[in-house]
Structure 1
């Protein structure tokens, strides 16, 4: 069975062209994106958080699955990178772009809990994990990617992944499933 997605967000070709031009190579792959779209679609009116906008490919996937009443907050440290996503996706009233360090944002955030949190950067995954998990609503989903070892990842990545997975498995308030698929995913659902 071919598991490559066929329903791609309309903005994806333009985002990829801009990513190539900028030399940005850290976007989530299409299989992860298709899962993001499906999870967003399963949360009508959902409040969604993306940590690590990057160039905006994950943002495009999330928006493609969201209904008209859902809201997405996406946080990125690098304004030059995020400006591409803001330029190509910012007209969508469902998305709010925040340019700030993800850890700083997590520490300061005092708003509503999130139905879906996609942590695609170090803050919210390898740092500030507890804070990110605290922001997941009961029945909500926490998703992370980039867990499989790859040759282009720094040596400390493998050790950080081991610590992360061990910490998540110890949490009694979340049910976790690891997926050796795409770049290596973990989905955790918060109990009620």
Structure 2
């Protein structure tokens, strides 16, 4: 079966891509930048000429956690484009193929989609939008046999935090591993029913200050 996983170069997306490949899935790796809609649309059309898509995992994401008035307009646009607009557009471009295959869409949202945190208004808006898009889309396409899942991971130890002012604690009970999320994706794909919404959290909440990488 063919799968498209965005964000496959690092973090959770890389772990999901590798887990799917290890279990016999053919992962098609997009080369277009998700913000470039024209290029993305052309690439998807070219892929669909010779491939059906059975699984779409929207995993690419960026974060910023700063006072809202300090965030540049270009950064606001980039965050919305990558975290929310790109998954919605990709889903639109692939939906007919996914319906044909009775496929599965898995959107990697965030714990922030389920709560409200200081300095997270922009990020939360994008991830809440993605989660609600997932839940609403399922009601639309369930009659066509398409499954839609939103996974909302809490703090996960990846390079997501390289450019932020905080990072997971070294306490192993205070963060998730990307391989855990990848295994959950595989498990969700195998069950007969539909997991529409899944939140995963570590046992403890502990973060540390860090210096963002340039």
Larger Rg: 2
Select the structure that is richer in strand: 1
More RCO (CA 8 Å, sep 6+): 2
TM-score category by the smaller chain? 0.3 to 0.5
Superposition TM-score, scaled by structure 1 size: 0.47
